[in-house]
Structure 1
Amino acid sequence: MTLLRLSPRALSRSRFALSPMAETLGAMRVLANPCRDPWLASWHERHAGPFRARVAADRFTAGLVRLLTTTGWLPDIVALPPIGGLRTTMAQELAPARRFSDAEVRTQLQESDRHSETPTGLDWLDGANWADRGAELMGAIWHDHVLPDWPRRRALLEREVTYRAGLVAVYGWSNALGSMSRRSSWVGEDAIRFSNRPQADRIVGSEGMLFVPVTLTRGTWLCEVPPDTYALVYPARGAAEAGGGPSPDRVRALERLVGAVRARILLELARPATTTELATLLDVSLGTAGGHIAVLRDAGLIEGTRVGRRVVYRRTDDGDRLAG
């Protein structure tokens, strides 16, 4: 068992962040395999072919992708903590990933290969400038396969942060962390178990740690910059649910009853969300989303709760019955 130990100050300063790099790595893992996530099915169908063609066209790319999608120990070139909070950009994450020397990259990849499901060695590691080439690959996958879908993904991730932040505000970090992943749990009053492997415990610095959701239904990993900066990447709560919901016939019936946009808002509010998150998800203006929210609220179908400077909406019991 491996623990992340946090002082009271570190715990109080821990926060959420988003990571395009982590999202790209997650997308790579999905595209390299048959799709098991219903909400990603149409995206996977469009992108899996071009992605696999890219991989097959270059030996270095094929070797790196195989390693990144089979290892239990990610190299630092793709697993550094994000530095921009909820507004982290891919450019911000690629810059430090490019700074590793070839010797450092080789050491990282050798460790990853040792923890791979099927270790095959690094005979594909030809030429030089491996950190830069790896960053170019991650940037290309982000641009071609993730960025076009980023508004939808970001909306889901922001809703996850809204949900977890609400739990933290009311119940504290231990409750918020409890259901983040199957592999992570709170231990005592000052530690998080993040791995069953017997490794040295990590001591989180006084600035706290980052919690980074990604749109996967499974998979957790730790990003770190020694000696004390850490980010825990975990599956967003809404991703597993996004492919479900009422049958198409019931959705159409609800749309006829209350209108298409209001029906979608009611269905989406199976998970709490802000006006901005709903507007992004539905691809409508803030004013349009706000107008429909006001009608649903006046009808007693949804209610809002202020969390900091945001108002988070959720369905009432009547809203649940109508949506169902």
Structure 2
Amino acid sequence: MLRIHFSAEDLGRIRLAPGPDPAWETLLSIHVLGSYDNDIGMLGWRTRMRGSLDPAARPLLRLAPPRGYSPDFLTPAGGTTCVESGIEAILSTPRTQLRTDLATLGAEQKLPSWAEALAQGDPGALRGLGSALRRYHRQALRPYWAQIQSAVDAERSARAKAFLAGGTDGLLGSLHPTVRWKAPVLEVDYPSRQDLFLQGRGLLLVPSYFCRNMPITLRDRSLAPMLVYPINRDTRALTLDQTAYAPGADTLARLLGRTRAATLLMIADSENATGNEIARRLDISPASASEHATVLRDAGLIGSLRVGNTIRHALTPLGVELLEGRLPAVLGPRTQQRANCS
């Protein structure tokens, strides 16, 4: 059992996340992907993902096993609904926390060889993690995000009504069948006996589509307290939204040419890639990398900025929309903000 201890100050600092948290949905959906339960609503999604998951995203399966500990740094505090902000927060994790979290994971399972570089905060390892997270979200979550958002919004509305009708008691007493409010302690069915003393920090409640069976929280008690809990979703299967489905590498290759498509994907995954990085990773000459970047820039798919003696490339809103399968029927002015929030 998990016992969460509230003070009077904590009761005034309870917050409800503004929507589905991309980092938590990523982590918990990876748990679902590695599990073998009979959740009817997840069977179709899990089958599709197991058969088609992008190889670049597969390292995440080693960081988030379906049972036991998953590193706390994969779910940073803040309750953001912005995909890119969440990823940037993960990649900005202090090295001390990276080392601590991965050591904790390593005590429960054998770590892959690249985990040591990640634990040391190696820039290349962090870029690889960012690429894996972006690709996973683009393939596994974005095509279903409207359904996830709708289900979480319905849960948030229900909690708001519970609070208006019964105050804090009504809110905390109606979270989930595995949760019991016995003021000033919130009791949660949990695999082990633990106590969490909020000590005036309040509590962030995070309703989650992919959370299963019982609520979950961070292991590190020094981090901002949060409780992620399963929403009361129905058993209908997640339906693939073709309009939100990102085009695959083969589709982009037919559209742009194989090397140019690879250049666009590499810029998307690297964030502010340089020409030398493009040339090295794609095994092409710097002149060829520059030529492909120029064509992509002229087409409005990337933007380039000189920093000192280096030119760095990043996706424009139009490039983001192309990769996310959301190109409008009629292209308008390219002045909108980069579309990286769900």
TM range (shorter): 0.5 to 0.7
Equivalent residues in 2 for 1:58-207 (5 A)? 61=59, 64-84=60-80, 88-114=81-107, 116=108, 119-127=109-117, 128-129=122-123, 130-178=125-173, 180-181=175-176, 183-186=178-181, 188-194=182-188, 195=190, 197-206=192-201
| Cα drift, residue 24 of structure 1 | 1.3
TM-score, normalised to structure 2's length? Answer: 0.57
- Measured in 1, the distance between the counterparts of 2:104 and 2:223 equals 20
TM-score, normalised to structure 1's length? Answer: 0.60
> Secondary structure of 2:225's match?
strand
> Secondary structure of 1:107's match?
helix
> Secondary structure of 1:205's match?
coil
| Cα drift, residue 132 of structure 1 | 4.3
| Residue identity in the other structure for 1:12 | G
- Measured in 1, the distance between the counterparts of 2:2 and 2:223 equals 15
Change over 3 Å in CA distance of 1:228–1:48 after alignment to 2: closer
Identity of aligned residues (%): 21
Q: What's 1:41 paired with?
A: 43
> Secondary structure of 2:206's match?
strand
What's the C-alpha RMSD, in Å, of the aligned pairs?
Answer: 2.9
Q: How many residues align?
A: 228
| Residue identity in the other structure for 1:5 | H
| Cα drift, residue 224 of structure 1 | 7.8
Matched, 1:14 2:10: no
- Measured in 2, the distance between the counterparts of 1:242 and 1:163 equals 20
- Measured in 1, the distance between the counterparts of 2:126 and 2:179 equals 30
* Conservation of the 8 A alpha-carbon contact between 2:205 and 2:227: yes
* Conservation of the 8 A alpha-carbon contact between 1:212 and 1:231: yes
| Cα drift, residue 131 of structure 1 | 4.3
> Secondary structure of 1:172's match?
helix
- Measured in 2, the distance between the counterparts of 1:219 and 1:131 equals 31
